[in-house]
Structure 1
């Protein structure tokens, strides 16, 4: 079949498939898979994450069913420039969490292949300290072109690990500069890594990266220039205190100060203005606020890793006791809804474009002065708007 009818039929077929992909009901075959995941089957967990990453039909039903089982894991994002030692540090963090009895999930977000869309570095061995440990689940995922290295698939994979029962989920990001702020949408606590050198790494930190950190880490702190990098980070955090009346890390407004460091890897030393544990301050309303810490680590040897985990624990405690965790996750859900709605409306519009012969055919109409972009956009979107208005009218009735 050729001509407009063929295009319309093909468009209808594609539209039907896409509509099926938007279904959030759990399929019969997936119910058993979900049950296996919740019962602790690592193979089921791997299969669910693959379904999520590939966006296979029915994956939304799986993710929707996972929501009731999430919310218990501490989700920690580790971000920073390439070469800062994120992979090695995440490896040591996972080993240290296991030493104290926690189960760990790791999502390492890698650059996307321009040819396959898969993770360029997905087959590398990065968890050498945890090989053979079934309680450390490692998954390398593609950034899928998303700035900041995070995509909806990554966020959904974190939900799967949380529902599975992992105590801690570590997210290692690509390290693509200011766009790393995307990690905030998935992680409860964010660690920003830099490495010592001439000081350029610290000086070139974008404002967005500086603002998202709950903990700042100078890794490779045994190298020359470490003390300078630590001092510069402290100074930058102090500037946040003076210039930003709001924003305590990525979790809300607050008074900011820098952690005192006697040596690389040293724990935070409380100052008179700090709270009892040396990590919180209070604003004029009496609300407890988080003070970002600055720590030094040597990931290869594990130096400073215990102190870093202590900082993560303190931040998690602060989030729970202050109520900020609830507010943070509410904001995350709101952003997730917006992202999904934008994606779905865009998909509906794409289907409508295909039913009209494709975008090139519409562009040809504009070239022939038979239509204009604004009119065509309205033609495509107005039916969606009308449907929504009709639904609202029914609800009001």
Structure 2
């Protein structure tokens, strides 16, 4: 697969699809492929689209694709769907809603199953983003599965996070409770033609005002705009795209884009280290007699878990590198 990276850089869709499948499913080549891809990453702008189920995220994403294509942008989409309990694969509802874009060579849409992840993102999502980045996408839209408070994970992947709320479902209050107000760079009040939309907008604006009063230097900080949209009627999409662009301009002119990406790389490195340690324990330590001995001593309470953990790490680090998943 590594020898096909030039084809990926040239925009070969079939190569992109094969590499994403490899990254999703794992295998001996995955780690080497990601190593080779990494120097070519960092060019795409990533927009997270999150919110509760039924808020119209997929329809809104579909309209954003159209808007970006009118601007001549190459667009990648990662739609994180619930995992089927029967097949283990993604339930491809998003592909159905976005099917009009499938013949467009400058749009690449991939559905991924959460596979047990509670954060609205599959573990491999960030790795798939790297493939689409190298593929040449100007923008990558990441639509999360919609699982309430765990949606906060999107902030570790996206440059701009759009939180989608709808009237009539108590979404604005739930967002405040869940801490989603903290991660939103742009609010989209979708289905704004329904009764109660004005109330949702007012509640968000009030909460933003209250937050501005309590934060030092709030006048210089970004205030998330609240955009009314009706995705099914293509209403408010240009305004939403303008809000995303304005946030990007703010990040770039203040230098915050580079700072935030640096912090995300730092967090990703920690996550990769933790993943390798887990693999090390699972593939090396748990297959030795020492694991059984340590476990028995903890069960007998002759060894405490903290000391046991130190011993396990010592054994794992002495045994060599973890196997690639």
In the alignment, does 2:46 pair up with 1:110?
A: no
Residues in 1 aligned to 2:280 and 2:156: alpha-carbon distance in whole angstroms:
25
- 1:374 Cα shift? 4.3
- More displaced stretch, 94-103 vs 188-197: 94-103
Match in the other structure for 1:36:
7
Q: 1:330 aligns with which of 259, 262, 269?
A: 262
CA contact (8 A) 2:284 2:319 kept: no
SS in 2 for 1:174: coil
Residues in 1 aligned to 2:189 and 2:305: alpha-carbon distance in whole angstroms:
51
Write out per-residue CA displacement over residues 288-324 of structure 1, whole angstroms, 9 at most, x where no aligned residue: x322101100000110000000011111111111110
- 1:385 Cα shift? 5.9
Residues in 2 aligned to 1:71 and 1:191: alpha-carbon distance in whole angstroms:
20
- 1:357 Cα shift? 5.0
Match in the other structure for 2:48:
77
Residues in 2 aligned to 1:166 and 1:382: alpha-carbon distance in whole angstroms:
43
- More displaced stretch, 212-221 vs 142-151: 142-151
1:141-160 aligned at under 5 Å gives the runs 141-160=112-131
In the alignment, does 2:186 pair up with 1:203?
A: no
In the alignment, does 2:72 pair up with 1:140?
A: no
After superposition, the Cα gap between the structure-2 partners of 1:357 and 1:133, relative to the gap in structure 1 and judged at 3 Å, is same
Q: 1:380 aligns with which of 309, 312, 315?
A: 312
Match in the other structure for 2:224:
292
Match in the other structure for 1:161:
132
Q: Rg bigger for which structure?
A: 1
CA contact (8 A) 2:157 2:264 kept: yes
- More displaced stretch, 348-357 vs 179-188: 348-357
Write out per-residue CA displacement over residues 235-278 of structure 1, whole angstroms, 9 at most, x where no aligned residue: 12112212334xxxxxxxx52xxxxxxxxxxxxxxxxxxxxxxx
After superposition, the Cα gap between the structure-2 partners of 1:332 and 1:368, relative to the gap in structure 1 and judged at 3 Å, is closer
Unpaired runs of 5+ residues, structure 2, are 321-325
TM-score (norm 2): 0.90
After superposition, the Cα gap between the structure-2 partners of 1:61 and 1:367, relative to the gap in structure 1 and judged at 3 Å, is closer
- 1:174 Cα shift? 0.8
After superposition, the Cα gap between the structure-2 partners of 1:322 and 1:367, relative to the gap in structure 1 and judged at 3 Å, is closer
Residues in 2 aligned to 1:373 and 1:330: alpha-carbon distance in whole angstroms:
34
SS in 1 for 2:310: helix
TM-score (norm 1): 0.75
Residues in 2 aligned to 1:68 and 1:382: alpha-carbon distance in whole angstroms:
32
Residues in 1 aligned to 2:223 and 2:263: alpha-carbon distance in whole angstroms:
21
Aligned residues: 319
RMSD: 2.3
- 1:101 Cα shift? 1.1
After superposition, the Cα gap between the structure-2 partners of 1:385 and 1:61, relative to the gap in structure 1 and judged at 3 Å, is closer
Q: 2:22 aligns with which of 39, 51, 59?
A: 51
Unpaired runs of 5+ residues, structure 1, are 1-29, 246-253, 256-280, 283-288, 389-397
The structure whose residues are more often helix, as a share, is 2
- 1:59 Cα shift? 1.2
Question: Greater relative contact order: 1 or 2 (C-alpha under 8 angstroms, separation 6 or more)?
Answer: 2
Residues in 2 aligned to 1:122 and 1:361: alpha-carbon distance in whole angstroms:
49
